[in-house]
Amino acid sequence: MKRYSRAICWFRRDLRLTDHAALYHALKNSETVYCVFLFDSDILGKLTDRQDRRVEFIWRCAAELNESLSKHRSALWVLHGSAEEQIVSLARKFDVQAVFCNHDYEPDAMRRDAAVEAALGEIAFHHYKDQVIFECSEILNGSGKPYSVFTPYKNAWLKKLDEYYLSAYPVERYLSAFAQCAPIPFPALESFGFSPGKLNVEAGESGADKLFEDFMLRIDEYRKARDFPALNGTSHLSVHLRFGTLSIRRLASHAQHSGSAGAASWLSELIWRDFYQMQLYHNPSLAEGRAFKLQFEAVDFPNDPEKYAAWCEGRTGYPLIDAAMRKLNRTGLMHNRLRMVSASFLVKDLHVDWRWGEKYFAEHLLDFDLAANNGGWQWAASTGCDAQPWFRIFNPVAQSERFDPEGCFIRSQVPELANCPDKWIHAPWLMPEIEKQRYGVIIGHTYPAPVVDHAEARIAALAMFKEAIRGSNQRRSM
C-alpha cells in the first residue's frame, strides 16, 4: 500500500528521469505522480536578454523530458508564473496529497521553497539531496563547524565517501506510477517572452550522455590537458551538472572507481562543487555580495568604467584575456583556467571590484551557478575561503605563454592576430615596428594597446590590499 494516492514531482535543476532522488521517492510512495516544470517568472523577469541561452537550454531540456515521459504515456505539465501561486494551484487542481522536489541551496530558492511549503498547508512537502554528494552539514571539521579550507574538506569528503553515497536511485522500478494522460502540447519558447537562436550545445539527457561518453575516453588525460584552452581537455559537462541532465552520483562514481590520475583530478573538481554549495548554505550573505574574508570588504577599488568596458568587450590589449572574453560573449562558455586568469586580471590589473565581474559572468555564463561563480570570483580576488593569497597576482602574459603556448586559442577568437607570429602572440605590442607592418598588427589601430601596464598595476593592487588590511586591523583594535 502506497502512502499517497496522488503526488506531484516538481522538477527544477534536475531535468532528467534517471537516478533522480525526488522522482524516485515520489513514484515509490504514490499511486499516481504528475511531473511538473515551472518557468519561474520571478527568475525570468530579471533577465534582460530575450535570447538568453540558459532559458533556451532549459526549454530544450524540458521538451526532451516531455518526450521521454510520453513513452510512458505520461507528460510534463509546464507552468509559467510564480512558484507559490502555480505549484500550489496545480496541487489543488490535481487534489494531490504531496509535492516532491530536490534541495536547492541558494538563499532565494530556499525562501521560495519555504513559501511554497507554507502555502501548501495540509499538502505534504518532501525534498531531498540530489545535486551534490554531501550537503549542508554532512562534512564538518573536528569542532563541528564548516571547513573554510578546501584540502582538509576534500580529505574528510573522501574519507566519508562509500558506495551508499554513490548509489543510483532506481527510478525504473516504479515507472508505472507516472500519471497517464493524452499528449499535452508543449509550449513555445516565445510564450514565455523569449526566443531561440544563441544556444550552441546539445541539451537534455541525450546531450549529456554524449558528452559523458566522449569524456570517459579522455578522462585519463584530464590532469595533463585541463589547463590548455586550445585542447579538448575538459569534460564540457558543467552546464549539464548545473541543470541536472545527468546525475552527480554517476559522475563521481565513475571518477572514484576509474583509478587514473586524471579521474582523481576531475573528482577533485566535483568536490569543489560540494565545497562551494556548503559555503553558500552556511554563509547566505555571500549571495548578497559580502566578502568571505571581512578584512577585504573595504578594498578601495577605483572601478574605472572604461577599463571595465574594455574587459567586458575583449579589447584590453592582452590577447589571452580578450580571447576568453570574446568567446564568453559569443558562446556563453569559458574554460576554467581562463575564468581564473580573466577574473584576476579584472581585479588586480584593472582594479575593478570583483562583484562587477561576478555579475557579468552571472549574466553571460551558460553554466552559471551562484555558489561556484561566487566561490571562483572570491578565490581570484583573494576575498574568499581558501582563496589565492592577496599578494599572488597572475601575470597575463606569462599565463598566456604557459597555457596557450602557440597562440592557437588566441587566434581562434581574436582574428586581428591571426597572422601574428608565435613569438609575439602573447604580447604583440612588443613586436618590432617593421614586423607589425609586415603582419598587419598595428597596435592602437588593428588591435588595442594594453589598457594597463601589468607591472605598474600589480604594485597598485598590492598597495590597495595592504591598505584594506591595515584599516581592518585598526578597526579591530579600537
Do 301 and 403 belong to one domain? Answer: yes
Do 97 and 109 belong to one domain? Answer: yes
pLDDT confidence of residue 478: 61
Taking a C-beta distance cutoff of 8 angstroms, is the pair 36, 62 a contact?
A: no
Do 237 and 327 belong to one domain? Answer: no
Burial class (CB in 10 A: 0-12, 13-18, 19+), 69: buried
Amino acid identity, position 238? S
197, part of any domain: no
444, part of any domain: yes
Closest C-alpha among 56, 76, 74 to residue 66: 76
What is the spatial distance between Cα 41 and Cα 228, in angstroms, rounded to a whole number?
39
Closest C-alpha among 407, 440, 451 to residue 425: 407
DSSP string, 333-344: ---HHHHHHHHH
477, part of any domain: no
174, part of any domain: no
Q: What three-state secondary structure class fits 292?
A: coil
- Helix (H) / strand (E) containing 38: strand 30-40
**Bridge-partner residues for 80, per DSSP?**
39
| Residue owning grid cell 521553497 | 113
pLDDT confidence of residue 477: 65
Give pLDDT tens digits for 297-316: 989 999 999 999 999 999 99
CATH number of the domain encompassing residue 363: 1.10.579.10
pLDDT confidence of residue 451: 98
Whether 63 has a pLDDT exceeding 80, the answer reads yes
Do 300 and 449 belong to one domain? Answer: yes
Work out how many domains the chain is built from and give that number. Answer: 3
CATH number of the domain encompassing residue 147: 1.25.40.80
What is the spatial distance between Cα 449 and Cα 438, in angstroms, rounded to a whole number?
18
Do 99 and 151 belong to one domain? Answer: no
Give pLDDT tens digits for 36-60: 999 999 999 999 999 999 999 999 9
Do 117 and 226 belong to one domain? Answer: no
Do 15 and 151 belong to one domain? Answer: no
**pTM of the model as a whole:** 0.96
CATH number of the domain encompassing residue 97: 3.40.50.620
Do 89 and 53 belong to one domain? Answer: yes
Give pLDDT tens digits for 254-284: 999 999 999 999 999 999 999 999 999 999 9
Last residue of one domain, picked from the residues 239, 262, 282: 282
Summarize the confidence of residues 188-206 as an average pLDDT: 95
Q: Helices H, strands E: what count in the chain?
A: 21, 5
Last residue of one domain, picked from the residues 259, 282, 305: 282
What is the spatial distance between Cα 261 and Cα 101, in angstroms, rounded to a whole number?
36
Do 215 and 333 belong to one domain? Answer: no
CA-CA-CA-CA torsion sign (147, 152, 154, 158): negative
Q: Give the structural domain span for 139.
A: 131-168+205-282
Whether 472 has a pLDDT exceeding 80, the answer reads no
CA-CA-CA-CA torsion sign (180, 181, 183, 185): negative
Closest C-alpha among 377, 345, 351 to residue 465: 351
Do 100 and 219 belong to one domain? Answer: no
Whether 197 has a pLDDT exceeding 90, the answer reads no
Last residue of one domain, picked from the residues 111, 130, 149: 130
173, part of any domain: no
Do 50 and 80 belong to one domain? Answer: yes
| Residue owning grid cell 505522480 | 33
What are the grid coordinates assigned to 176, written together?
508505472
What is the spatial distance between Cα 375 and Cα 388, in angstroms, rounded to a whole number?
12
20, part of any domain: yes
Give pLDDT tens digits for 121-157: 999 999 999 999 999 999 999 999 999 999 999 999 9
What are the grid coordinates assigned to 146, written together?
564548516
196, part of any domain: no
Instruction: State the maximum Cα–Cα separation within the chain, in Å, rounded to a whole number.
Output: 85
pLDDT confidence of residue 388: 87
Give pLDDT tens digits for 349-403: 999 999 999 999 999 999 999 999 999 999 999 999 988 899 999 999 999 999 9
What is the spatial distance between Cα 398 and Cα 279, in angstroms, rounded to a whole number?
32
